[in-house]
Structure 1
Amino acid sequence: MNDRQEIPEVLARYVRALEERDGDALAALFAPDGEFQVFSRYGQEEYVALDADVVGHDALRAMMKSGALPPGRGMHYLTTDHIVAITGDEATLRAQFVVVESNASPRPENGWPAGADLMQGKLALIMIGYYESHLRKIGGSWLFTRHQVKHSLPMAIPVKS
Structure 2
Amino acid sequence: MSDERAVQEVLARYVRATDRRDGAAQGALFTDDAEVRIHVRTGPGTYEPVGEPLIGGAGVRFAVEQFMPPHPEGGTGHHVTSDHLIEVDGERAHLSAQFVVFETLPEHVVRPIESGYYDTDLRRVGGEWKISRHDVLNDFLPAGLRS
Note the alpha carbon deviations across 1:70-124, whole angstroms, 9 max, x for none: 322211000000001111101100000011111114xxxxxxxxxxxxxxx3111
Query: After the TM superposition, which residues 54-93 of structure 1 pair with which residues of structure 2 at under 5 Å, given as runs?
Result: 54-66=54-66, 67=68, 68-93=70-95
Matched, 1:47 2:34: no
- What residue ranges of structure 1 are gaps of 5+ in the alignment? 106-120
Residue aligned with 1:35, SS? strand
Once the two structures are TM-superposed, the CA of residue 61 in structure 1 deviates from its matched residue by 1.3
Please name the residue that 1:144 is paired with: 131
Whole-Å separation in 2 of the counterparts to 1:35 and 1:98:
22
2:118 paired residue among 128, 131, 147 = 131
| Superposition TM-score, scaled by structure 2 size | 0.90
Residue aligned with 1:42, SS? strand
Q: Does the CA-based 8 Å contact 1:73-1:102 persist in structure 2?
A: yes
Please name the residue that 2:23 is paired with: 23
Note the alpha carbon deviations across 1:25-62, whole angstroms, 9 max, x for none: 00110011112110001343611111231112222111
Whole-Å separation in 2 of the counterparts to 1:158 and 1:79:
23
Identity fraction in percent: 37
Q: Does the CA-based 8 Å contact 1:42-1:154 persist in structure 2?
A: no
Residue aligned with 1:12, SS? helix
Q: Does the CA-based 8 Å contact 1:90-1:137 persist in structure 2?
A: yes
Please name the residue that 2:99 is paired with: 97
Whole-Å separation in 2 of the counterparts to 1:104 and 1:35:
36
Once the two structures are TM-superposed, the CA of residue 153 in structure 1 deviates from its matched residue by 2.0
Structure 1 residues 17 and 4, CA, compared in 2 at 3 Å: closer, same or farther?
same
Letter in 2 for 1:153: F
Q: Does the CA-based 8 Å contact 2:72-2:105 persist in structure 1?
A: no
Structure 1 residues 61 and 130, CA, compared in 2 at 3 Å: closer, same or farther?
same
Q: Which moved more, 1:89-98 or 1:48-57?
A: 48-57
- What residue ranges of structure 2 are gaps of 5+ in the alignment? none
Question: How many residue pairs are counted as aligned between the two chains?
Answer: 144
